[in-house]
Structure 1
């Protein structure tokens, strides 16, 4: 391993028990089913795992990660898994600096981060994305007596750019003729930190609307100034506590707040795990990824397929293609295999309302993990 901080983090984790803290896109679909695993020595996992595994990243995965952690540790009582939901950007930074063994991210690594991963991982193969958490992003709001509203992409962009300022604006009212909308001011709520959820939300607005304020996607907020908070929990709390607010969060955290159904083609589609999965199934792998084992998707935000919900995030587990020792390799690969398994995906669906990945994708992820080497 090229950076000593990961070894220090893992050594410290072996002594301390960490609790989980409370704390995104080509034209042809790529078939990855028969792609070979990365080269390098394959190692069998030990019969009994022990030690500590440290990860950090997307807060969208928090509820699912709690379920994965509990299920894996139940079968492996001598293993401690910790995950700090600091946000996608923070997780990628910690991983590329060598401080964690894996990262969770709602957005893909950029070129600089890919290069950093080569330095952080043993060998020269760097890191790859494994898509293990699929979830819609909900546009949430707080209006008394109103549970759902219909909006097209231009209307959502107008609200979050500050062009539409009242709830009874014609752009909203015309799409909701049976709803009695108040004349009160709209207060937007957004993430204060760099966020994969923000990046996916803005990617949707850049590609699906004609009037978003920015031409490029970013994990930093580019819209109008409003209320803001760090992490998903803060955004939810602000919307819950303030009437007239509107924000965006991983759909698993929408709770009893009002939510927006998106106009897709000629229909309005509310979020659901099935609608989110329909978009991912129709999307190709991204160009510029780190080889055929890097399962990074370019999501189709402009689909008009019936029942599809294009405001979706695919949250990745980012892992090295080679670790510096067998113990670390075994902990990472066995934990991530559990996450990708039918049991792990069902636990995430139950805990977080996520959409289970397909059996073919689960098999492909397992094949890739079996090929991860130890230096």
Structure 2
């Protein structure tokens, strides 16, 4: 899964300490050009200077933005800080976290099962918490000449991607697109040929939203049984750009980069276009598996199955996996400080990078969990 991947996706993202200026100001400019009100930040900038993290490449650009902002905040508060984030993949991040090689992990899915038990041992007998910090929408991108306004739903998408619907003018699609002239043309599904968190989330969405039309299950490998494969988010989006009649699921930033049209989704309450506000509305209605716990692993069905008017339900979440307790005092302070900044002023730049800033309901719960660490 990757909201916005670059060629250095497997390299270490290391952002060095910035030197404290002799005369500080309450307003600093982060490296991305955003003005940061350091006085308003509740990040303490205390604890050890250098944090390390690894994992999800999907959140790599978000971590860049968070770190740049955090450095600016701490510079003005008289602290020099660093964060090295290696976007080596979710599985590797969880493995390194369990092995105590990094301070926290980024992951496209919550830690669970045997890994959660191993993480508890790593955290000195305390639970590891899943904190959803970065969200990004998936576009249903298509290439259909003359059709600029297309609506699909969970059931029609399931049947397109498992071969139940083969033509663009199928009556089920036509019923969602009154007044639209749909061609008598074969649908060409383009799917990820590599293992992908995007595929897993898309198939989980189909399982939840298709009214039983998707029975193939989920997982990081595509299991629909139809379609042409392409590697990576760049691969599927470029394939659709060059193939009339094609359709894929891909992160919004890639659809935008390739100038692809994105279908609206009718979740049962009318067609909803993919916008930041519409995705944020679906996220705001999210429920958590343990509502009264500091662990904020999401009940994804509450997002994927949303029928709220104006909510775009096909949204990805990525987590930071941290020790609820069990760090040494300096690491505890640094982890809490960085995450506090990321969950608040760090969200300001995310929309421009293809992510969805945290809605207030999620931000409040996240801040409460961060405060409870240690």
Give the TM-score category using the shorter length. 0.7 to 0.9
Moved more, 243-252 or 46-55: 46-55
- 2:261 aligned with 1:294: no
- 2:117 aligned with 1:115: yes
- Counterpart selection for 1:63 from 37, 61, 64: 61
CA 1:72–1:46: 2 relative to 1, 3 Å: closer
The aligned residue for residue 159 of structure 1 is 160
Structure 1 residue 107: Cα displacement:
2.4
The aligned residue for residue 310 of structure 1 is 313
CA 1:221–1:52: 2 relative to 1, 3 Å: same
Inter-partner Cα distance in structure 1 for 2:183 and 2:217: 33
Inter-partner Cα distance in structure 1 for 2:194 and 2:340: 30
- 2:273 aligned with 1:270: yes
TM-score by length of 2: 0.76
The aligned residue for residue 357 of structure 1 is 359
State the Cα RMSD in Å: 3.0
Contact 2:192 2:236 in 1 (8 A): yes
Structure of greater relative contact order (alpha carbons < 8 Å, 6+ residues apart): 1
CA 1:319–1:192: 2 relative to 1, 3 Å: farther
Structure 1 residue 139: Cα displacement:
1.1
Inter-partner Cα distance in structure 1 for 2:199 and 2:224: 10
Structure 1 residue 205: Cα displacement:
0.9
Inter-partner Cα distance in structure 2 for 1:86 and 1:227: 27
The aligned residue for residue 340 of structure 1 is 343
Secondary structure at the aligned position of 2:172 is classed as helix
TM-score by length of 1: 0.76
Q: How do 1:275-286 residues align onto structure 2 when only pairs under 5 Å count?
A: 275-286=278-289
Moved more, 242-251 or 261-270: 242-251
Inter-partner Cα distance in structure 2 for 1:225 and 1:86: 30
The aligned residue for residue 37 of structure 1 is none
The aligned residue for residue 54 of structure 1 is 53
The aligned residue for residue 207 of structure 1 is 208
- 5+ residue gaps in structure 1? 1-16, 21-43
CA 1:47–1:147: 2 relative to 1, 3 Å: same
Contact 1:65 1:348 in 2 (8 A): no
Secondary structure at the aligned position of 2:298 is classed as coil
Inter-partner Cα distance in structure 2 for 1:116 and 1:233: 35
Structure 1 residue 286: Cα displacement:
1.1
- 2:332 aligned with 1:329: yes
Structure 1 residue 210: Cα displacement:
2.9
The aligned residue for residue 129 of structure 2 is 128
Instruction: Count the aligned residue pairs.
Output: 328
Inter-partner Cα distance in structure 2 for 1:180 and 1:115: 55
Inter-partner Cα distance in structure 2 for 1:192 and 1:88: 18
- 5+ residue gaps in structure 2? 1-10, 15-42
Moved more, 167-176 or 123-132: 167-176
Contact 1:50 1:76 in 2 (8 A): no
Contact 2:56 2:93 in 1 (8 A): yes
CA 1:54–1:103: 2 relative to 1, 3 Å: closer
Inter-partner Cα distance in structure 1 for 2:338 and 2:97: 17
CA 1:71–1:257: 2 relative to 1, 3 Å: same
Contact 1:279 1:303 in 2 (8 A): yes
Contact 2:269 2:308 in 1 (8 A): no
